[in-house]
Amino acid sequence: MKIGEAIKISKRMGLPETEALILLSYLSGNSKEYLLSHLEEECNEKFFLFVKKRLSGYPLHYIIKKKHFFKGEFYVEEGVFIPRFETEGLVELAIDIIKRRKIGTIAEIGVGSGAVSVSILCETNVRALGTDVSEKAIKVTRLNASNFGVESRIDLRKGRFLEPFRSEYKNIELIISNPPYVRQGAILPEDVTFEPPEALFGGEDGLYFYKEFFKLYDTSGKIVLMEIGDDQGEYFRKQNITVLKDYSGKDRYILVE
Ligand code: SAM
Ligand code: GLN
């Protein structure tokens, strides 16, 4: 089947043209511009398999195995959280603090794909410590750190919170995290249900991670920067914690310094 025909049929099946082009581009290695100017060429036979998978709700980025985040393309695969646009704001805040305060060591809890730490490492000279409860997240972060050429400045260990770095805790100047903060039982868009639950759910009120973290760690003398859900700002404001907004004007980050 020709590319033009395949796009038309997949559109009729319910797939937006932009996604059809992304899938075709992934399958052939050709750019979207190339595809659009070669609609008469034969399309890859796997295309409709991917269209069906996508229409079943399976995330586009798990099919094409990458997600653009901040300034680069991150490798992602099933079992690892797909980095979100809002989190780029967390990275920008961190880079600004690191440069202003001349910070040398940061720690990230829950690295996932490594999007946050790797982006920060690309823009600053810090050393990063990173944890995740998921072995796959550690593996994928290691791969992304290596793809971006920053693997020598990141130390990754599997474990909860900062437990694997207990002995180095005193050297950490900035603690950063985009933790799971979705309320247990919340209705999620279908594609999100394919992502790992341990990356998303933060207990009954979505606040389990933050409550546990501040109970476990003495953060005096350190800066803590975390992402929160857009309906969780009030909880933190009540405790005199600074709440910052994202690009769309929603409560999204907390800063303790
Ligand atoms: N930092 C990545 C990002 O922003 O794209 C991933 C964020 S994802 C929302 C949360 C990550 O934290 C998941 O990879 C999950 O496995 C991990 N995680 C959840 N609870 C954790 C805990 N108590 N300690 C360490 N990692 C945790
Ligand atoms: N914003 C995410 C979502 O799309 C949740 C991220 C998180 O829990 N850290 O559901």
Ligand with minimal distance to 175 CA: 1
| Domain span including residue 199 | 77-256
In this predicted structure, what is the pLDDT of residue 181?
98
| 45 and 164 housed in the same domain | no
Q: Do 23 and 150 fall within a single domain?
A: no
For residue range 28-61, list pLDDT tens digits in order.
999 999 999 999 999 998 999 999 999 999 999 9
Asked, for residue 13, whether it belongs to a domain, the answer is: yes
Ligand nearest to the CA of 229: 2
Do both 39 and 86 map to the same domain?
A: no
Best of 69, 91, 134, 182 for a ligand 2 pocket test (most atoms within 8 Å of beta carbon) = 182
Closest CA to 177 of 109, 83, 131, 107: 109
Q: Is the CB of 132 under 6 A from ligand 1?
A: yes
Same domain, 154 and 97: yes
Query: Is there a contact between 118 and 140 (Cβ–Cβ < 8 Å)?
Result: no
Question: Quick one: 141 and 214 in the same domain?
Answer: yes
Q: Is 31 exposed, middle or buried (0-12, 13-18, 19+ CB in 10 A)?
A: exposed
Q: Give residue 104's pLDDT.
A: 98
Q: How far is the CA of 143 from the centre of ligand 2 (A)?
A: 23
**Domain match, 125 and 89 both:** yes
Q: What is the ipTM of this complex?
A: 0.98
202 falls within a domain: yes
Tokens 């653009």: give the residue. 68
Residue 64 is assigned to a structural domain of this protein: no
For residues 176 and 154, what is the distance between their CA atoms, to the nearest angstrom? 14
Ranges of the chain with pLDDT below 50 = none
Q: Are 74 and 118 in contact (CB under 8 A)?
A: yes
The pLDDT of residue 7:
97
Same domain, 160 and 227: yes
Query: Is 67 inside any structural domain?
Result: no
Q: Is residue 37 part of a domain?
A: yes
Are 7 and 118 within one domain?
no
Residue 62 lies in a domain: no
Average pLDDT, the chain: 97
Domain shared by 38 and 93, yes or no:
no
Same domain, 209 and 155: yes
Q: Hey, which residues are catalytic here?
A: 81, 178-179
- Which own/partner pairs from 27-36 qualify as long-range (CB within 8 Å, at least 24 positions apart)? 35/3
Q: Do 207 and 151 share a structural domain? A: yes
List the one residue out of 93, 146, 143 whose CA is nearest residue 123: 93
83 touches 64 (CB < 8 A):
no
Report the separation in Å between the CA atom of 85 and the middle of ligand 2, taken as the mean of its atom positions. Answer: 10
Are residue 229 and residue 127 in the same domain, yes or no? yes
Residue 185 within any structural domain of the chain = yes
Enumerate residues 6+ apart whose C-beta is below 8 A from 110.
131, 132, 133, 137, 177, 178, 179, 180, 199
Contact 144, 71 (CB under 8 A): no
Is 116 close to ligand 1, i.e. is its CB under 6 Å away?
Answer: yes
pLDDT for 91: 98
Ramachandran class of 159: left when φ > 0, alpha when ψ lies in -120 to 50, beta otherwise: left
- Ligand 1, atom 1, lies closest to the CA of 111
CATH number (domain holding residue 187): 3.40.50.150
Give how many domains the chain has, as a whole number: 2
Residue 107 covered by a domain: yes
